[in-house]
Structure 1
């Protein structure tokens, strides 16, 4: 009996390209793997920036996960509509966002919302808005452990900020947040050592807060690369995101993490510009293009293709003379970076048991910014 590769779609003629394609069985397998990496499911707070999907959110909820993290108000709204009971906006809202943030909190009064703060001025802004609205705002202090983009260093300044925030009216300080995306060594021992060094000041800060009489301080930490490291430590909420779909980049970089690709981009050959070249309908409007051209997509059924030129609607790749590819041939592409790739699509094609069965919206783009 002829076997079919896991990614092959029997009724692919029903799908126009380029298309984002999801495999729910594999998404469930990745969720199961993630829940098995922590001793308590309460320590999982997955980031939804990768999938932006109410359907994937519901799969996470069905697995028992109740705590979520997002990067935008649109993603927060998507989570609330999908039934998530606890939502952290891993972003520090400016005055321009505060009105919509408060509106979301009012609309979903049964949901626990929180956001990040890394300075006293923003804390004061939130406090004033909370008092006017009559709604207390929950916050986590954003710590800079080496990403150097947002956050306050976990030192005396962070201790002073924590204490200042606790004195502000209608501000509820829930704990600390630290993202360590810069820690991504392939060797797990090196990754573990880097993570331990980066978080030593964070743990010392928690100790100081405890000594000053504050209740136990929550810590939300990490992404996918350091997930296994933080999962092995007590009292840390882990925030992997890419794990639900996985991608070629993390598959190569993090071989110790046994997640499987669950999202592809489907493309077709649309021209044969030279005897040793094919042109594919996968421009950089359809696949994340922030990395070098040879690290944007890997075609599972055409691993020999070498990317040459990339433009808005076209990808030209080199093959061998006499290759046999024809116009209209289907290519199954594994993105190197799935998160920004998903953000390029309005919906995804859903494939179950080797056939397209429906569509899922990328709804985290549509509610609001």
Structure 2
């Protein structure tokens, strides 16, 4: 008798393809593992960009995680709808998004919102809008610690801090640093590189405390360096991928024992040549920013080799005399789960304790109501 694999669905015939599947039991195990890896769960500020889901957010809230990080106004609104206590928009709002952030704070007064700033002009605009709206907006200075994407260099932080701390309309909470450029497979290398950032942030924190009599909150890192900051600092930590995990992180970060908990299911739709099969997993169903051979691996058919992909199709080399037939179901593990989730309107959540549910990927939208 062939043992049932963890990913096999009880009712595969009712599942539309291509489709996104969340495995709730494994998600819960990942959340519990995350909590076990840190001394105080109040230091956890998970990033919701990976899952963008109300139900998954509430799984974290149910066991005491109260702080979250997000990247878009829609994600921030989803968190407000969930009643999250502390929400950091890890993005500097520009243009209409400044007004949207103010509206969010007015609509969800029980949630404490904050955002990033990295220049005086944006801080002044936000301060003015906040004053005019009768509120005070919390802000973090975004520090460029080597990724060279956003933020200001460490040597300029104290000057900006001095200017922003005097502004009426905003409350300066601390520093934010994202180190997405550190993704080395070797844990020792990640430790070495992260320690340089830790020294910089600790120095800035000490200078702020001395000069401004204020102990800043420091929010740092993502998933690759979580296993450094969790034990070697008192920073707030912001892993996101941990909840669902994926093939890329599974291969890269062996010291992190999270379970893969989200798959894309696909069906064989054509047999165009004797060695080729075509399934319905195109660009619109699985993230396609990586090379063709680093987009998805099929757990029940790991020998399949991707040949080409278009919007609605993925052609695979199955070899001569292969056993695949039209209609066969393939269970695909994405290499990059975050943008894959964003391609789907909903996920089918399966659990050993209840019937399947539909979980909307509500904040995949650019706009919910605000």
Q: Give the TM-score category using the shorter length.
A: over 0.9
Matched, 1:66 2:56: no
Query: How far apart are residue 354 of structure 1 and its match?
Result: 9.8
CA distance in 2, matches of 1:76, 1:3: 42
CA-to-partner distance for each residue in 1:242-285, whole Å, 9 max, x for gaps? 00000000000111100010000000000011111110100001
Query: What does 1:330-341 correspond to in 2, within 5 Å?
Result: 330-341=329-340
CA distance in 1, matches of 2:146, 2:211: 26
Q: Which runs of 5+ in 1 are unaligned?
A: none
Matched, 1:93 2:107: no
* Partner residue, 2:203: 204
Matched, 1:110 2:110: yes
* Partner residue, 1:187: 186
CA distance in 1, matches of 2:358, 2:272: 33
* Partner residue, 1:214: 213
CA-to-partner distance for each residue in 1:198-256, whole Å, 9 max, x for gaps? 33222211111122142211100000000010001232000000000000000001111
* Partner residue, 1:6: 6
1:11–1:356 contact (8 Å) kept in structure 2: no
May I ask how many residue pairs the two structures share in their alignment?
Answer: 368
* Partner residue, 2:278: 279
* Partner residue, 2:308: 309
Structure 1 outlier segments of 4+, above 6 Å: none
SS for the counterpart of 1:121 is helix
CA distance in 2, matches of 1:354, 1:134: 47
CA distance in 2, matches of 1:2, 1:122: 61
Query: What does 1:110-189 correspond to in 2, within 5 Å?
Result: 110-155=110-155, 157-189=156-188
Query: How far apart are residue 6 of structure 1 and its match?
Result: 0.1
CA distance in 2, matches of 1:3, 1:316: 29
* Partner residue, 2:52: 52
CA distance in 2, matches of 1:28, 1:255: 20
1:145–1:199 contact (8 Å) kept in structure 2: no
CA distance in 2, matches of 1:89, 1:363: 17
1:31–1:60 contact (8 Å) kept in structure 2: yes
Query: What does 1:282-293 correspond to in 2, within 5 Å?
Result: 282-293=281-292
1:249–1:337 contact (8 Å) kept in structure 2: yes
* Partner residue, 1:261: 260
CA distance in 2, matches of 1:63, 1:300: 31
Matched, 1:250 2:249: yes
- The TM-score, its normalising length taken from structure 2, stands at 0.97
SS for the counterpart of 1:186 is coil
- The TM-score, its normalising length taken from structure 1, stands at 0.97
Cα 1:46–1:191 change in 2 (3 A) is: same
* Partner residue, 1:16: 16
Query: How far apart are residue 368 of structure 1 and its match?
Result: 5.0
CA distance in 2, matches of 1:355, 1:217: 44
Q: Which runs of 5+ in 2 are unaligned?
A: none
RMSD of the alignment, in Å?
1.3
2:144–2:151 contact (8 Å) kept in structure 1: yes
CA distance in 2, matches of 1:267, 1:298: 12
1:7–1:354 contact (8 Å) kept in structure 2: no
